Structure formats: C-alpha cells, structure tokens
Amino acid sequence: MSESRWIPLESNPDVFNSWAINAGLASQAQFEDIYGLDPELLGMVSEDVKAVTLLFPCSGTIATKRKEEDEKIAAQGQHPIDPTIFWMKQTIVNACGTMGLLHALINSGVAFADESPLAKFIEECKDKTPLERVKVLEETSLFEQIHTSAAVSGQTTVPEDLDTYLHFTCFVNAPDVTARDQDRGWRVVELDGGRNGPIDRGKCTNLLQDVANFVKEHYIKESKSVNFSMMALCSAQD
C-alpha cells in the first residue's frame, strides 16, 4: 500500500486562515506574518499571540540535532509537560502544515463552530493516543480536501515533485505543572509531529519574544539557508 502524500502547504497567512476557517475556526483569531526577529519587526505583530508556527529547512545540522535531542529526551527525560497539551504524530507525507495548524489552533483556546470538522476531530481524538489521532486524520477525507484546497490557493505554483525538505513546527505556551498553585508559571512548548512528543523550551514570559529568541539560537544559527518563515496566531484586530 502506498503512503499518503499531500501537497505541501505554503507558509502564508492567507493559506492558513483559509484552512482554519474552512475547518471550523469560529473565534476572532487569525494568522499573521512575522517579518523578522528584531524587536521593531516583532512589534508589528498584533498583541495576544496564541501560537507561533515556523517553517524551516529540516536538513544538515538541524536534522542531526533534532535526532540527538530526541535520543537525549528518551534517555534522560525533560521538564514535565502539561498533560492537557494536544499533540499528534505525523505519518502523512507533507502534512506538517496541517499538523502545525492543528497544534496551534487546538492548544490556543480559540473557539470552533459546533459540528465543524475541527470540533468533531477534537471530540473523536479526546481519549486517543498520538498515533490513533493521526489515523483519524488519515480517515477523515474532509481534512485532506481542506488541506488540498488551501495548498493550491497559495502564491506559488504546486510543484510536480512533492518531495520537500522544508518542515513546519509550532510553539505554544502551557502551564508549568511543577509550579506551586499560587505561583503557577508558563512554559514554551514546541509541538512537531515529526518528533517523539511535545518538547519543553523553557520558561515563558512573552510567547512571541521567547520563541523568536529560541528560533534565532537553535534554528537560524544552525543553518546557512534563508528558507525560514514564521507566522503568529493572534486575536483579530477590530
């Protein structure tokens, strides 16, 4: 049996917003471009950032360090992750854009329309494992249709060769489960369907700034490529 292979999604707010609306986003939230990681460019992003997506070249040093970190976490563990975080394993080729969207939307507290694809998906996946969740995604043809519709609506032509080394990951904030109730803090958590689970990225004081600092140090610094793109899921402006 051949593996499922979707069309890669473009890192484009119009594409992601179209996907989100078609899948059932009902609250006033939207994806916006992050034009750069300098303070003045980060200042152009709307307030109340709920999640950040990153498209990056998953090759060379970055790919090697991802593998090494997965092995280290498996052997030594990491800072405890909030168990309410929704994460799923990616098994569908080129579905990392949809994975990033799902991880961003489901973990950001935004509202979904009743009986929408997203609302039904969340309900069906409530008590399932990360691999069982992606099986639901594979068997829900409507999600593939939404993905394909968004993919072909981008500004770039859909390539004949669907193999790509570019990959989406997502960052959200989550409660620090080790903190005392009266002093509950927040953590930055990276959600990447290509990894072995959610990954703690340290204390969160400002999600956008904290993610920008992490991306500069652990992604951009490790690559000579310019193929990086970031978006923020924010409350829509009036």
Active site residues: 96, 167
CA angle 176, 180, 183 (to 5 degrees): 80
Q: 149: exposed, middle or buried (C-beta count within 10 Å: 0-12, 13-18, 19+)? A: middle
What is the C-alpha separation between 65 and 136, in angstroms, rounded? 30
Query: For residue 25, which of 100, 139, 102, 91 has the smallest C-alpha distance?
Result: 102
What is the C-alpha separation between 238 and 234, in angstroms, rounded? 12
What is the C-alpha separation between 59 and 64, in angstroms, rounded? 8
What is the C-alpha separation between 170 and 193, in angstroms, rounded? 9
Inter-CA distances, 136 with 90, 91, 213, Å: 12, 12, 35
What is the C-alpha separation between 165 and 116, in angstroms, rounded? 32
Please measure the distance between the N-terminal and C-terminal CA atoms of the chain and give it in whole angstroms: 49
Inter-CA distances, 111 with 23, 30, 31, 45, 108, Å: 12, 12, 15, 21, 9
